[in-house]
Structure 1
C-alpha cells in the first residue's frame, strides 16, 4: 500500500536527499524554491538545515510517499508565490492571477520504481494543495513525445504522466529540460 503525507519529517526527507558526505552541496529540492543568490550561498549541511526549517513550518515543503511504511518518493508542491524561480520566470508564463500551486519535482527512490509511486505522489500532492486552498495546480513537464528522458532530468515528469493524472496542457513555455520543451499543464481543483 502507498500512503502520501505532508513532508514534515526531516529524517524522511533526508532519506530522499541526503548525500553520503553531509558537506556535499546537493539539491535537496531547493534550487526551484530559492532565489539563485540564496541557493548558491547555501552549501553543504546548510542546505539540509534549510530543509529542516521548511519541514518545521505549518505548510510542508512537499509530500512524501511511503510504501509499506518505508520512504518511497517525494513530490515538491507549494504555492508558486513561494517558489522564486517560478514566481519570477521569464520562460514559464503566468496565465492569470490565480494563486496557483506548482508541482515541480517528482522523485522515486530506486527499488520503488514502476510500482505506482509516481501516480500516488501526483495525486497526493494535488490533494495536499486542495486541502490548503489551492484553486489550481500547475506542472511544467517535458513534452517528450514518448521518447526516453534522461533520469537526471526526469524529475520534472512527462506530459503523459500528468495527462493520466487529469492535467491539461495550458500553454507553451520557452523552458527546455534534457533537450525537450517543457509545457505548462494545469489541473483545476475548484
Structure 2
C-alpha cells in the first residue's frame, strides 16, 4: 500500500473535490466555513464556493493537503498558518494560547468507503510534514470530544485520541464548547 500526501494546488483540485464534494453540489461547504468569513468567500468566489476554494489554491500556502492511497484521493486536511485562517484569527472563543506562529488544522475529511482504514493517521502525518516544509514551528488543532457517537458523515475537527495518536499534546482549552465540553487546544511541536 503506497501513501502520498500533496498540497492542494490547482492541478489537484478535482482530487480534493472527489473527497469533500463528490457530486459537486454548489451549496456544499467546500471546506471554507471554518477557514473564511462569509464576506471573504463571496469576494473570492463571486458567489461560488467552489471558485473561492479554487482561488485559495493559487496562494503561497495552499489551504491544505490531499492524501492518496495507491494513487486514489482518500483524505483531506484543511491546514495553514493560523494568521491566514481568518475565522480563527477573528475568533473570540478560540484564541491563541501564546505568540508562537502555529499552523492550524481546522478540518479533516476521510472519503466515504475509506474510513477506519488508517487514512487519518497518514493524512495527519502528511499535513504536519507540509507545515514543517514551510517552516512552521508547531501545528495546532482544536478537537472535540462529545459524549456518544459523533456525526462524521461530512468533515469534522477531530477528537483528542485521534490527535494524541499523531503526537499532539494538550496545551490549553478554548472558550468554545461542543457537546457540552470545552474544545481543547492540542499542539505538535516541530523543533
Q: Same-fold call, TM > 0.5?
A: yes
4+ long deviations beyond 6 Å: 40-45
* Structure 2 runs not aligned, ≥5 long: none
The answer to whether 1:157 aligns with 2:162 is no
Alpha-carbon distance between aligned partners in 1 of 2:150 and 2:46, rounded to the nearest angstrom: 28
Name the SS for the 1:156 alignment partner: coil
| 1:177 to partner: Cα distance | 3.1
Instruction: Give the number of aligned pairs.
Output: 188
Name the SS for the 2:31 alignment partner: coil
Q: Which residue of 2 aligns with 1:74?
A: 76
Q: Which residue of 1 aligns with 2:136?
A: 134
The answer to whether 1:10 aligns with 2:13 is yes
Q: Which TM-score applies when normalising by structure 1?
A: 0.89
Classify 1:130/1:109 alpha carbon distance in 2 versus 1 (closer, same or farther; 3 Å): same
Alignment of 1:1-190 (within 5 A): 1-8=2-9, 9-18=12-21, 20=23, 22=25, 24-39=26-41, 46-144=48-146, 147-152=148-153, 155-190=156-191
| 1:178 to partner: Cα distance | 4.6
Residues 62 and 125 in structure 1, CA contact (< 8 A), matched pair in contact too? yes
Alpha-carbon distance between aligned partners in 2 of 1:44 and 1:118, rounded to the nearest angstrom: 33
Q: Which TM-score applies when normalising by structure 2?
A: 0.88
| 1:20 to partner: Cα distance | 3.0
Residue by residue over 1:112-132, the C-alpha shift from the partner in whole angstroms, topping out at 9 and shown as x without a partner, is: 111110011111101100000
Classify 1:150/1:44 alpha carbon distance in 2 versus 1 (closer, same or farther; 3 Å): farther
| 1:28 to partner: Cα distance | 0.7
Residue by residue over 1:70-102, the C-alpha shift from the partner in whole angstroms, topping out at 9 and shown as x without a partner, is: 110100110001111111111112111111100
RMSD (CA atoms): 2.2
| 1:41 to partner: Cα distance | 6.9
- Deviating more after overlay: 150-159 vs 127-136: 150-159
Classify 1:19/1:113 alpha carbon distance in 2 versus 1 (closer, same or farther; 3 Å): closer
| 1:181 to partner: Cα distance | 2.9
Alpha-carbon distance between aligned partners in 2 of 1:152 and 1:40, rounded to the nearest angstrom: 26
